[in-house]
Amino acid sequence: MRITTWNINSVRLRAPLATQVLKILKPDVLCLQETKCPNELFPYEVFQEVGYPHICVNGMKGYNGVALISRIPFEKTNILNWVGREDCRHISAVFEDGIELHNFYIPAGGDEPNIEKNEKFDHKLKFITEMTDWFSTNRKPTDPMILVGDLNIAPLECDVWSHKQLLKVVSHTPIEVDHLNRLMSASDWIDTARYLTPAPKKLFTWWSYRSREWRTANKGRRLDHIWVTPLLKQKIVDSGVLRDARGWEKPSDHAPVTTDLGQF
């Protein structure tokens, strides 16, 4: 199974780029975040025409939104709401081999890493805490699961262009990293990218729109992740970032991330 995750930053605007990703990477499942599209306006036909007939979406107008676009059928799908909000940040599916795939768009958290002054940051930490509690209560580390998405946290020093300069910047603060580590521990998740490319090698999946010379400056962060539970650890074959997609015309500021899993 080949899984690709991508924060597309508007699926209707970038549907042609999404089909380009599908043609280049040929994933079995494409997991999208920030689709910014209500379900009834999702461009289903675009994906069906290139061989991806199984589509499950959880979207809203203008904000957030997640989708699963698959060439293989779902046995069942599910949507969960978090922190008492119906803001379209999760979708999941179970496949015929029993693997359960969860696609998340964790809140970005605003600009100031202070829960008393910044409600968005408080929301982000509560969201991750609720995820941790849900997996601890409802699933076991022995279950065959995959968790993907724009998690909006770069956990390691080598996941950002400058650990020192970003320590107080939302997405790399110690409190966010602590919350993400607790989530990982809840199901003994394995970070597939770091399993194959361990620290200290730098890996990035996001480059700001503010940097026109993003490729040269390379001031990136690794915000997009694919995790698996221990049962799938030995199935991890390959992992990579389609960095070139960040340089396409009218790109997302995120690049697609892919993991290959061997036969389960």
pLDDT at residue 264 greater than cutoff 80: no
Mean per-residue pLDDT over the chain, rounded: 97
pLDDT digits (tens, 9 = 90+) for 190-203: 999 999 999 999 99
pLDDT at residue 178 greater than cutoff 80: yes
Give the CATH number of the domain where residue 101 resides.
3.60.10.10
- Number of structural domains found in the chain: 1
pLDDT class for 211, splitting at 50, 70, 90? confident
Q: Which residues are CB-contacts of 221 (< 8 A; sequence separation ≥ 6)?
A: 154, 159, 160, 161, 166, 171, 172, 204, 205, 206
Provide the whole-model pTM: 0.97
Crossing angle of the two packed helices 119-138 and 174-186, in degrees rounded to 10 = 20
Closest CA to 27 of 76, 68, 65: 68
pLDDT digits (tens, 9 = 90+) for 127-147: 999 999 999 999 999 999 999
Q: Is the peptide bond before 200 cis (omega within 30 degrees of 0)?
A: yes
Residue 212: per-residue pLDDT: 85
What range does the domain containing 122 cover? 2-261
